Structures are given as C-alpha cells and as structure tokens.
Amino acid sequence: MIKLVLRRLAQMLLIMLTVSLLLFAIFDTDQFRKKVAVSELGGFGVATLSDSDYQAWLEKKGLNAPFLQRYVEWVGNVASGNLGHSMEKNVAVSTLLKDRLTKTGILAFFVFLIMIPTALTLGVIAGMNEGGRLDRVISILAVFTTSVPQIATAVLLTVAFSLGLGWVPSKSAMTDGWSFKELMLPLVTLLFYDIGYVVRMTRASMSEVMSSHYIRTAILKGLPYWRVIVRHAMRNALIVPFTLIFLQLNWLLSQVVVVEVFFQYNGFGRMLYDAAMYGDIAVLQAATLVAVAVAVLSQLLSDIGYVILNPRVRFA
Amino acid sequence: MNEIKRNPLVSKLKTQLDEGKLERREFLRLSALIGLTAATAYSVIGLPAPALAADTLPFPPADPAAKKGGTLRIGQLVAKMDDPATYAWNEMSNQSRSIIEHMTLVGPDNVVRPMLIEAWEPSEDLKTWTLHVRKGVMWHNGEELTAEHIAWNIRRWTDSATGSSNLGLSTFSALAEDTGAKTDKGKPIRVPAKNGVEVVDTHTLKLNLSRPVLSVAEDCGEYPTLIVHPSFVAPFSNAPIGTGPYTLAELKVGDRCILKRIAKTTDGKDFKYWGGDVYLDEIHFYNFDQDNQTAALASGTVDAIYELTVDQLELARSIDGAQIKSVQTAQTLCCRMQVDVKPFNDIRVRKAVVKAADNAAIQQLLFPEGGGIAYNYHVAPVHPEYFPLPKIGRDVEGAKALLKEAGYENGLDLTIDVGNTDGPWHQAACEALRDQLKDAGINLSVNVLPTSKFWEIWDKTPFGATSWAHRPLGTMALAQAYRTGVPWNETHFSDPEFDKALSEAEATIDVAKRKAKMEKVEKILQDAAVMVEPLWRPIYNLAAANVHGYMPHPARQLQLTKVWMG
C-alpha cells in the first residue's frame, strides 16, 4: 500500500513537471506575449509603443527571458513555496488561489453533502426494483438530468427560479458577503448533473448484485428482505459508487468553470477562465498544479477505498 | 477675470455671437474651450449668470433634495489599477476617478469644464497655454496640489518609455520631442521637450507646444489623464494618494472594488474636498460581465450598471422603476481599408465598397432607437466643429461600374476582420455589410476573431472593423487616425492636403471659419473612401429608481462625485 502511495505521488510530480513545461512552451511565443501586452496596455496602447519600449515592457514583466531560464526559475520558486504574481489581478498567486479554492471548496462541500445520500438512496431503490415503476421513473429522470448540458440547466433554473418566481438572486457574486441563498442556483445546477450520474452507476451496481446467486440464495433461505438488502446487497453494491464519488472531486474541478462563470461565482473555475482569457501564466500554472494534484490524489483515495472495501483486491 | 475678458479670442467669439453666426449655447461651450468659466462667459454676453453657472465646479448643479449617506453598488468589470497613465480600459479609470482626478472634466453634455486646473488661457496662435492650478486642493496625504505636481505628471506621459496612450493626444504629442534615435522599425523614441512644460509659479504652468493645438482642455480630460501624486509607484492600488473625496478600501480584481469617503488625511488633518458636497459614504464596484449586469440589477444585487447593451434593453424595460438613460456620442465602427494594400490601393475598389454599402440601413438595423447615421468622415453631429456634408445614398450601379473599370467585372472576394471589441454589434454590422456588398458583386467573408486576437492585428489587417471611442472634438479623432504616419493610422491614409487642412482647422479658433475649414477636411476624407463608417452609436445606462445623478457619458466615463441615493 505504501508503495502504491509513493508511486502515485512520484507520478504526480512527474505529471506536474511535464504539464507545466508544456504550458511554458505554449506560452513562449511572441504572439502570446503580444496578447498579454494587449491585455495590459490595450490594443491602441500597444500600437503606440515603439519597439524598444515594447522590449523594455517585456523586460519589466519578465517575459523576454529565455524559455529555460524562466522555467527553471519558476520551478525553484514553486519549490520554495512562491507561486508567483498574477499579472491580471495584481496579487500573489498563493493568496488568490487560497481564496478561490476556499470558495469552490464550499460549493463542492455542499454538492457532496447533498449528492451522496440522495444519489445513493435513489440508486439503491432503483437497483432493488429493476424494471419496476419506481426504477423507470428514477432512471428516466437520471438520464434526463445528465443529458442536459449545464449551461442549459443554468439558464433554465435562472429563468424559472430567479427571474420568474424571484425566490433566489440570479447571480452569485456574494456582494454582501456570504449568502446561502446565492449559492442555491450553482449548487442545484451542479447537483442536477452529478446526482443523475451517480444514481445510474449505483443502480447498475445494485441491480447486478441483486441478480447474483448469493442474494437469491439468501432470499430463498428465508432471511428477512431488508436484512438481505442492507447486510448483503448494499455492502457489495456500494463499492463501485463509493470509489466513483472520489473521482467526482476531479470532475467537479473542471465542470465548475461553466457554472461559476455563468453565475459569476468567484471560485477556482472563474479564476481559471479569467486567467486563460488574459494569458495570466502564473495563475494558469498554479491552477494546473492544483488540478493535477486533485486528479491524482482523488484517484489515489479512490484506489485505497476500493482496496479497503473489497478484500479480494490486493495491490502488489 | 478681466484679463480673460480682454482675451482676443473671447472678443472674437463675442463678435460672432453678436453677428448671429453663433448660438448662445455654442458660445458658452466654446468659451469653455478657451478657458472661460461659465460665469464669466455669461457676464461677457451681459447676462446674469444663473445660480448654477456661478459655480466654478465641473460638476452638475447641486440638487437641493440630495441626501447624504448610503452606498452605491455598481455592476461593471473590476479591473486592476496599476498605472493610471497606461490605463487601457474605461473601467480602470471609473474605479479611480473618485480618488484621483483630471485637470478638466468633460461632462455628460460633451462640454469641458475646469477641474484641477481652474482656468486656462491659450495664446492667439494656440501654441502657448497657461494653466491655472486650482488653489486649496488637498492631497490625501495633507499636501497641497501645486503646478509642479501637474508638470511632473505631464512630463511622465510625454516620455515614450512610460507607454502612455496620452502620447497619442495632440497636446501631449506636441509636448514631446524626438530624440533622433529610432528603433529598428523606424519608430521614433520620444522624450519630454526641454521647455515643454514650464512651471511659472506654485499654481501656474505654461505649456509650450510645438504646434497649435485646440484641444488642450479636452485632452486633459481623457480617461488616462488622471493626476497622481509625484510619489506614485505602480501599482496605484497599493498606495492610492489622490485629490478626490474617496479612497480605495479594497480591490480584488475580477471581484470587487470598494471606495470609502475620506475623513482624515494620512498626516492627521481633517480632509476637506475642494469640490463641495459629496453624498455617498461608499462606492462599490462588483464584477459582472456585460451580459450579466442587467440581470444583476434585476435581482437587486447592484443599484446601477455600467454598460447596458442594445440587446438587453427589453430586459431592462421590464425591471420595475429602473431608469434607462441614453446619450448621443461619437462612438463608432470604422470598416476601414488600407489604402496601400491590394486591392484597396485602387481607389475605384474602395469607392465601390463605399457605394455598395447602405449606412442608413445598418444604423436602422442595429440601433433603431438613438444613434445616428454616419457618412464616412468620422466627425459627428455632437462635435462642435461638425460640418454637415450632403448626405450620401447607396449606389449599387455606380459600384458595379467602378468594379468593372477596375477590372473586377466577374466579382471580387474580400475578407473583413472583426473582433467585437465593443460588443457583438460589430459582427452584425459586418454581416449586414456583407449582404449589401453582394448586390454589387463583392463577396465579403466576415472573419470573426476573439477580441484579444483582433487587437494583435487591428492595425495590420488590410480590411478590418475597428471601434473608435468618443472624443469631445472631431479633430481629435481625425488627428489620431488619419494624419500621415501617426501610430494609430490603421488605414495608412496619407494625404498632405488633408494633413494641411486638418492642421489649419485645428489652429482656427473662429468657429464659423473653423466649421468652414472642416468642410474641406471632411470632404477629402470622405472622397478618399477609406472606410464604411455606418453609424454613431448611443450609450445607454441603467440604474435603480433610488439612484440620482447617475448620468450616461458619451465617452463612458463614470462621474460619481455628486451621485446620491434617495
């Protein structure tokens, strides 16, 4: 197990290095530098700069140092805990990242808090009654919610609950400080897709277990039905959804861009979007590191959970 | 004031007024141009100054019903505040304008008024301008504003190493001199001219311009001309010292910008604002994309928004009590062609494009309410020196004939680059143009680029749709965009006769004569057929019912000092 963890962590470092190197390479073009200059000084402003002024500007922003030198410097800085400075937001990347990750973390917390019990319950119920009316209803709903793109869900919810009924504000900028009411729409939008997905997975796993021999045997030998479900079926059926839920963490980090940008919620996704639009390389690099770390760590947790839950699997 | 009254320029204006060549409103506006306060202007024409005009402040008249206190929440993009001299967006200066201030302020009515300089006097040749710095203006650190401070700012702008777009304004360009050194691309390196800015005494300075400039007062009110304290080090948001009534309490780019009233200077004195009563306790900017601003106001998250786009008018109208205001501007879109690139180097091709276009139809399509039709010479009816040339109509047959003559009888394929830098209406305008040109046998493809990509090529593409912001004077836009060799000359248009005519118009204070001179300038530009400039777009803004004094501004400057909540 320790070997597995260590190997995964080593992999993580390698992926981070590779991705950051690639990012640096992508951004090491004149076009990109020009784009940053335009973002900073404006299209008309850049046209006014003479060539040497432009070079001086690049120098000031540290954009014209050779590729490798910049990269090595960056790795050194990150190793010593300095993530750099956001050119667009004029603030240390670590401060920005902490703030934005907290916001997205809160959102994710509520997503999981509601999603896990709801999705598992619905999935188990559907799986228990495979082919029954309850299963049909739940399955159709689940397929429906996962097949609507999030941007459409966001628009529909806004029109219905904000502009129509006026129950919740249409945007989630939290201008007057933290407000759960403003969190509702992004939360529901994320849940809409996520619950449907986990329900379907849980249902599949549950129905598979329910049709297995040992469940039939348990029922035939006269055990009470609820005991068969809780003691025998669920324990095995939940292994897959459980490991899957960890992977949702990773999924959430990318899906959250659409939701945060639409609802103007100032989280990680919006930060990523802004940085990509502006060409704010320090932020992009840091966000990539976070994304890679979350991806690898969530997989690791999922694997560990799987091993613990399923004694048949042992990693060498 | 008597000195000013004896100013020969004023007496000239007065004569014109007496001869009926000039309307009274125009007289007041032009007096302001050459440095008269409204009160003096009224007294010159022998009228009692209205109570409001007696005020020498640049702000709208005080509203007796105004209440103190409250917070105004505005939805706009929250930008960083790095170096005011290199501000590239209006949003940056909107956040700053209540902290640091301009020398002059161009009001929502497009009339320039004195702000940090309380009066200005041009010499008759318009080459020497004396600026009187307002007395009793206090910096947030307790110092008094002096002529030296202003001079420091101007010298900074006129150094090309600062990278300020102010160097593109006639006044500051005429205060810079070439070092003789050139970059490998042949662009000159410029530094402040030796005797350009002269400090006469603590509150007077003299601008010795290298050529006559009429627009000094207007140039001093452009959005990147905010006056910072000489202790300034970028980023401004770290140590915001200004002369305005507010200071920066919090800035989170892309999230919020919080301004608070100043009560004490940093050295412990009571802060007294020179500009009279200020009502709001706090001003908050919250980051909302353009598309989201109206919805944010509808759900009560903000009290006012910065940009109301034409596609959101319907939604805005459905909000209870919301105030929609609009103003005429000189904001425009130039679908311009480079005159030295094939096939546009053939004037017959350019003329064919212009003839095949139907400006009126495009205007009607995009801004059916507000706005005006433009006729391809980049001077707008809101400009004081506007000379209305005869209207031109569409002439498809003429266009076809010209194309045939130019050797394109089987049609011509063109591509126009558009970046929607000022909203999706750019693309709509180009698409309308595409459909119109088809009738004359020109196949136009519309190449839509992301905004940032567009800014990489805006001055390089042979055929592109560039948005031009409002400028208070028509000559300002012409000087920046069409004079030979200026940095923003995207059409590469170069005509010595045009340059000469423009310079002459710029050097003429006499209004009737100046308007007459503009006829030639405008005609040369229109005849050169360098662009299809279909329209002047209106600016709309939106505020909740309880916001007072929140005015739309032709150059989209938010001026919040006198806004109040009730």
Reported as a single tens digit per residue, the pLDDT across A294-306 is: 888 888 888 888 8
Q: What is the mean pLDDT of residues A4-30?
A: 85
Distance from CA of B253 to the nearest CA of A (A): 5
Worst-scoring range by mean pLDDT, A131-135, A288-292, B162-166, B186-190?
A: B186-190
Burial of residue A165, with CB atoms counted within 10 A of its CB: 0-12 exposed, 13-18 middle, 19 or more buried = exposed
**Residue B443 three-state SS:** strand
d(CA B243, CA B258): 17
| pLDDT level of residue B1 (50, 70, 90 thresholds) | very low
Is B185 within 8 Å of A51 when comparing Cβ atoms? yes
Query: Residue B417: which residues within 8 A CB-CB, separation 6 or more?
Result: B447, B449, B454, B457, B458, B461, B463, B464, B465
Q: Which pair of structure tokens corresponds to residue A130?
A: 């495979």
Is B187 within 8 Å of A50 when comparing Cβ atoms? yes
**Residue B68 three-state SS:** coil
* A271 Cβ under 8 Å from any chain B Cβ: yes
Worst-scoring range by mean pLDDT, A24-33, A89-98, A276-285, B303-312?
A: A24-33
What end-to-end distance do the CA atoms of chain A give, in Å?
8
Q: What is the mean pLDDT of residues B167-180?
A: 84
Worst-scoring range by mean pLDDT, A7-11, B355-359, B543-547?
A: A7-11
Interface of B with A in 107-166 (CB under 8 A): 160-161, 163-165
Name chain B contacts of A86, Cβ cutoff 8 Å: 253
The confidence score (pLDDT) of residue B8 equals 65
Q: What would the pLDDT profile of B231-249 be if each residue is shown by its tens digit?
A: 999 889 999 999 999 999 9
Nearest to A51 among B187, B235, B299 (CB): B187
Say how many residues make up chain A: 316
- Is 60 exceeded by the pLDDT of residue B275? yes
Q: Which pair of structure tokens corresponds to residue B41?
A: 């202007």
DSSP for A153-213, written as a single string: HHHHHIIIIIIIS-SS-S----TTS--HHHHHHHHHHHHHHHHHHHHHHHHHHHHHHHTSH
Is B163 within 8 Å of A39 when comparing Cβ atoms? no
Interface of B with A in 188-217 (CB under 8 A): 188-189
Find out whether B101 and B94 touch, Cβ atoms under 8 Å.
no
Name chain B contacts of A175, Cβ cutoff 8 Å: 73, 256, 284, 286, 301-302
* B286 Cβ under 8 Å from any chain A Cβ: yes
Check residues A168 and B85 and name the one with the higher pLDDT.
Answer: B85
The confidence score (pLDDT) of residue A269 equals 92
Name chain B contacts of A91, Cβ cutoff 8 Å: 252-253
Tokens 């910096």 belong to residue: B139
- Is 80 exceeded by the pLDDT of residue B86? yes
Is B254 within 8 Å of A270 when comparing Cβ atoms? yes
Q: What is the mean pLDDT of residues B118-134?
A: 88
Name chain A contacts of B88, Cβ cutoff 8 Å: 40-45
Q: What is the mean pLDDT of residues B500-508?
A: 88
Burial of residue B160, with CB atoms counted within 10 A of its CB: 0-12 exposed, 13-18 middle, 19 or more buried = buried
* A89 Cβ under 8 Å from any chain B Cβ: yes
Distance from CA of A40 to the nearest CA of B (A): 7
**3-state percent helix, strand, coil for chain B, nearest multiple of 5:** 30, 20, 45
Q: Are strands B112-114 and B463-468 parallel, antiparallel or unpaired?
A: unpaired
Highest mean pLDDT among A161-170, B480-489, B557-566: B557-566
Check residues A47 and B80 and name the one with the higher pLDDT.
Answer: B80
d(CA A270, CA A265): 7
Name chain B contacts of A38, Cβ cutoff 8 Å: 452, 455-456
* B493 Cβ under 8 Å from any chain A Cβ: no
Q: Are strands B204-208 and B197-201 parallel, antiparallel or unpaired?
A: antiparallel
- Is 80 exceeded by the pLDDT of residue B485? yes
Is B488 within 8 Å of A44 when comparing Cβ atoms? yes
Q: What is the mean pLDDT of residues B236-263?
A: 93
Worst-scoring range by mean pLDDT, A60-64, A229-233, B136-140, B331-335?
A: A60-64
Is A38 within 8 Å of B455 when comparing Cβ atoms? yes
The confidence score (pLDDT) of residue B2 equals 45
Interface A–B counts its CB contacts (< 8 A) at 132
Distance from CA of B154 to the nearest CA of A (A): 17
Distance from CA of B516 to the nearest CA of A (A): 31
Q: What is the mean pLDDT of residues A134-139?
A: 92
- Is 70 exceeded by the pLDDT of residue B40? no
The confidence score (pLDDT) of residue B44 equals 59
Q: Where are the beta strands (DSSP E) in B319-438?
A: 323-337, 372-373, 412-418
Distance from CA of A297 to the nearest CA of B (A): 30
Query: Residue B123: which residues within 8 A CB-CB, separation 6 or more?
Result: B129
Q: Which pair of structure tokens corresponds to residue A115?
A: 């999603």
Q: Which pair of structure tokens corresponds to residue B515?
A: 């308007």
Closest residue of A to B299, CA-based?
A169
Find out whether B293 and B516 touch, Cβ atoms under 8 Å.
no
What is the helix (H) or strand (E) element at residue B466, kind and residue range?
Answer: strand B463-468
Find out whether A315 and A307 touch, Cβ atoms under 8 Å.
yes
The confidence score (pLDDT) of residue B52 equals 38
Interface of B with A in 172-191 (CB under 8 A): 183-185, 187-189
CA dihedral B504, B509, B511, B515 (to 10 degrees): 20
The confidence score (pLDDT) of residue A315 equals 55
d(CA B71, CA B259): 10
**Residue B83 three-state SS:** coil
Distance from CA of B525 to the nearest CA of A (A): 21
Tokens 């750099």 belong to residue: A84
Helices (H), B165-240: 170-173, 216-219
- Is 80 exceeded by the pLDDT of residue A175? no
pLDDT more than 90, % of chain B: 55
| pLDDT level of residue A316 (50, 70, 90 thresholds) | very low
* A41 Cβ under 8 Å from any chain B Cβ: yes
Q: What would the pLDDT profile of B188-206 be if each residue is shown by its tens digit?
A: 678 888 889 999 999 999 9
* B82 Cβ under 8 Å from any chain A Cβ: yes
Interface test with A, best of B255, B288, B418 (most A CBs within 10 A): B255
Strand-pair partners of B197:
B207
The confidence score (pLDDT) of residue B565 equals 94
| pLDDT level of residue B215 (50, 70, 90 thresholds) | confident
Is A48 within 8 Å of B161 when comparing Cβ atoms? no
Worst-scoring range by mean pLDDT, A91-100, B179-188, B338-347?
A: B179-188
Q: Which pair of structure tokens corresponds to residue A9?
A: 């962590």
Tokens 């598309």 belong to residue: B291
The confidence score (pLDDT) of residue B51 equals 39
What end-to-end distance do the CA atoms of chain B give, in Å?
39
* B89 Cβ under 8 Å from any chain A Cβ: yes
Phi, psi of B45 (to 5 degrees): -95, 15
Closest residue of B to A263, CA-based?
B292
Distance from CA of B255 to the nearest CA of A (A): 7
Nearest to B73 among A47, A90, A175 (CB): A175
Distance from CA of A68 to the nearest CA of B (A): 26
Q: Which pair of structure tokens corresponds to residue B510?
A: 């006499």
The confidence score (pLDDT) of residue A304 equals 84
Name chain B contacts of A53, Cβ cutoff 8 Å: 160-161, 163, 189
Worst-scoring range by mean pLDDT, A166-180, A194-208, A278-292, B280-294?
A: A166-180
Distance from CA of B80 to the nearest CA of A (A): 6
The confidence score (pLDDT) of residue B24 equals 64
Nearest to B35 by CA among B60, B3, B4: B4
Nearest to B209 by CA among B126, B121, B118: B126
Query: Residue B176: which residues within 8 A CB-CB, separation 6 or more?
Result: B158, B159, B160, B167, B190, B191, B192, B193, B196
* A35 Cβ under 8 Å from any chain B Cβ: yes
Nearest to B510 by CA among B40, B36, B33, B6: B33
- Is 70 exceeded by the pLDDT of residue B34? no
Nearest to A42 among B89, B254, B302 (CB): B89
How far apart, in Å, are the Cα atoms of B39 and each of B6, B30, B52, B56? 15, 13, 9, 8
Is A90 within 8 Å of B288 when comparing Cβ atoms? no
d(CA B84, CA B232): 10
What's the whole-number average pLDDT of chain A?
85
Q: What is the mean pLDDT of residues B84-97?
A: 91
| pLDDT level of residue B469 (50, 70, 90 thresholds) | confident
ipTM for the assembly: 0.73
The confidence score (pLDDT) of residue B110 equals 81
What's the whole-number average pLDDT of chain B?
87
Check residues B509 and A89 and name the one with the higher pLDDT.
Answer: A89
Half-sphere exposure of B446 (CA within 13 A, CB side): 21
d(CA B402, CA B397): 9
Q: What is the mean pLDDT of residues B222-228?
A: 94
Find out whether B528 and B493 touch, Cβ atoms under 8 Å.
yes
Q: Report how far Cα B17 is from the mean position of its chain's Cα atoms.
A: 28
- Is 90 exceeded by the pLDDT of residue B521? yes
d(CA A64, CA A28): 9
